[in-house]
Chain A
Amino acid sequence: MSDAVRGGVLEDQIDQWRGFVRRRRAISPSDVEEMEDHLREQIADLGANGLDDEEAFLVAVKRMGNLGEVSREFAREHSHRLWKQLVLVPEAEDDAGGLSRWRELGVVLACALGAGLAVKLLFTSVDGEIAQIRNLAFVVLPFLAGWFAWKRRVTWRACAAVAAVAAVPALAVNLYPFETTPGPLPSPGMTAVLAFTHAPVLLWLLAGVLHTGGNWRSHERRMDFVRFVGELVMYLALIMLGSMVLVGLTFAVLALVDVDLEPFFEDWLLPFGVPGALLVAAWLVEAKKSVVENIAPVLTRVFTPLAVLMLAADLVALLVNGPLTTVDRGLLILMDAVLVLVLFLLLYSVSARDPMAPAGVFDWLQLALVGAALAVDAVALTAMLARIAEFGFTANKTAALGLNLVLLVHLVWSAWLMAGFVRGVRPFAAIERWQTAYLPVYAVWAGLVVLVFPPLFDFA
């Protein structure tokens, strides 16, 4: 064997060893470098004493010690390394300029500031509380969508298409001749409220198209958006919580000197803070994507068993104490809320599940959850259907019933697929695919409520 070949074998072995050590999270790359230098010195010394490369390598590795024990020792010294840390601004690379690594943060902050200015402009230039509220989503979400577009390098054509589609509900909520309820304090009618509440949902899903980078047909990208939304909600909640503490303390301290923060709070802090929090939370979620465990799926693990218990108790109570006393729109909305909760529990555990893993206890639990939710909904619906004819179909009732049906289809088919999966006749991927395949239905439904319901129900 020539020297070159022997050296190559040794290098391969050292490479392999380095790969093993690197997998230990407690041992940092610079530690690996330090230990590799040690290993090479040892091998050279042993070689000088007459051992061949392979023997020297084996002895040197043996002397280095059991990797598990060494790594535990490193972990004791550097325990923080076991906690994944979020690096928000990447370390300066040798070839990258100092400014470019701040670019992303700069764009996010610019978008946050833009959204704040837009909200401020909306509040100062548009008269009427209702006109302000119905346009809120239309002035904030474009900045988030714009940031998605920048981050994913979406083509201008895709951006223009999304903007054009988004303009339709924007025009509808502002130009439809909605009627207001008569009385001394006129408030928006049913169809107006429905349109105002459903438009943000539609807009949010459109922003999702840009989050997928325009590649919205891809099921993987759709699932990424679902994951993103789950984490965004968690981060937003945490940021809001922190902000409340901060604002509360500021209020209290300023009250000591009789300074009233409220005008500033309402005029500036809220219009800039809330959209800013949304953008910053979105940026954090994107930055942490692969670094920190997703929180939403962890919560679903905790709440799925509890939700099964809750729904089982509800079902028993409904069946024992029936028939239902008040059968109205409130009941339908309540059932919608129950189904949405179950849907989120299902969606977020599906989003984090390894599709290759075999069916386990948790999958059965989830099937039980969906089954219990469907049973509760069925009890409510049968009580409802008998009497819905006497009440007639108002816009609100139709919207609530329609959403219930949309959710029902989603959950019934999920339950069917899950039953197939736990019995081992269907792959898990089918369940996952159904979740993402069904997402556009919600956009279509929201679009219907915004665009078709008002003319259908005479803008009442």
Chain B
Amino acid sequence: MLSAESLAKIDRELAKYPADQARSAVMGALRIALTERREKGATPEERCLNSEVIEFVANYIGIAPVAAYEVATFYNMYDMKPVGKHKITVCTNLPCALRGGMNAAEYIGKKLGIHLGETTADGKFTLLEGECMGACGDAPVLLVNNHSMCSFMTPEAIDKKLAELE
């Protein structure tokens, strides 16, 4: 289900906690599983977590599948729905909204031809509304694929970023 590299990374997560508290490693393990799927998945369905992957991860670290499912569905960075190759999460909380966060989201949506929460037909981009990323001074901010945060996303900066991602 997962590659040897990912399993080695999960083993590293497991090693951080006492053997009888392996469930502490569930967040790291799910993140590693999701990262692998996003990088290797060919379709939006293959880029997100599903019950098979969650069950596999749970069994691997030795916890009940439903316990891993609780975690995966609690945190919104674990993609439980099909997701494009590039997941763009735009902050629309108050400070960002005051400084053009909503406009940035609308601009991206218009450019890609999708609404918030949708994926482009070619499966390349998914546009999501996000919560505060702790960089209000850099507003508008957006997050690409959970990991890379982009600041001061004016229309020009957005054009540049989208061109990079193409």
A and B part of one assembly:
no
